[in-house]
Amino acid sequence: MSGHSKWSTIKRQKGTTDQKRGLVFTKLGNAITLAVKAGGGITDPESNFKLRLVIEAARAVNMPKENIERAIDRASAKSADDVIEVVYEGFGPGGFSVIVEAITDNKQRTTPLVKNIFEKNEGSMGTPGSVSYLYQQKGLIVVQKNDYSPDDIFLAAVDAGAEDIDEAASGEVFVTVAVNNLSKVKSALENKGYKILSSELTRIPTTSIPLAGEASHKADSFIEKLEELDDVQKVYANYEPT
């Protein structure tokens, strides 16, 4: 799969969420609550890696400090007992694979909403494991290139344990790392003076399906509808616009 398709999808997703700040804050609040809960109630981001990642993402979109603190406090409330992560798998219009990560306090509400979007947009829900084998879980660090060359960033990243980099036309460099190396590589790049725009856990498809014209537009519309659901955190797909 080409670097363009991998990162153009991420850029599109970020552009979409930036236009809907209230929804973004809701999603991030849920992710913060789940990170605290999954981390055994640890509210210190220095001791809870997933919480640190989500808080960094929240600060990157200027989520108010009070919202972050409220989401952390919510994790200790009884209402948080029902908050869980749910992963859906399936196929979009044109046959490409899709993984939907959601956080919900009511699976009986979320599942029909996701299923409805699949069915109304020429897609189909799959069973657990039906498409996840087509993706690799990785850490992703986005670095602002500035006056550095991609080779400089590549060497610094690889020295710290990164696996690969891709350069975007917009002046960003995407550094791919093993999940357990994300914190280490990010810190190493920061210590060398590179500006980190974001760091996150992601799923990278190992194969791609090319889509052009109307098929590509249908795919984009389908993904956007999934992303607009309050409970949906991230959507991954392996189609490549051509």
The CATH superfamily label for domain 84-132+208-241 reads YebC, transcriptional regulation domain (3.30.70.980)
134-205 has CATH 3.30.70.980 classification: yes
pTM of the model: 0.85
Q: What gap in Å lies between CA 237 and CA 242, rounded to an integer? A: 15
CB 183 within 8 A of CB 189: no
Tens place of pLDDT per residue across the chain (242 aa): 233 345 445 444 554 445 577 788 889 999 999 999 988 889 999 899 899 999 999 998 889 999 999 999 988 876 667 889 999 999 999 899 999 999 999 999 999 999 999 999 999 999 999 999 999 999 999 998 888 887 888 889 899 999 988 887 677 889 999 999 999 999 999 999 999 988 999 999 999 999 999 999 999 999 999 999 999 999 999 998 88
The CATH superfamily label for domain 3-82 reads Integrase, N-terminal zinc-binding domain (1.10.10.200)
Q: 109: which 2 tokens?
A: 């509400």
Helix (H) or strand (E) holding 30: helix 21-38
Q: What gap in Å lies between CA 84 and CA 76, rounded to an integer? A: 14
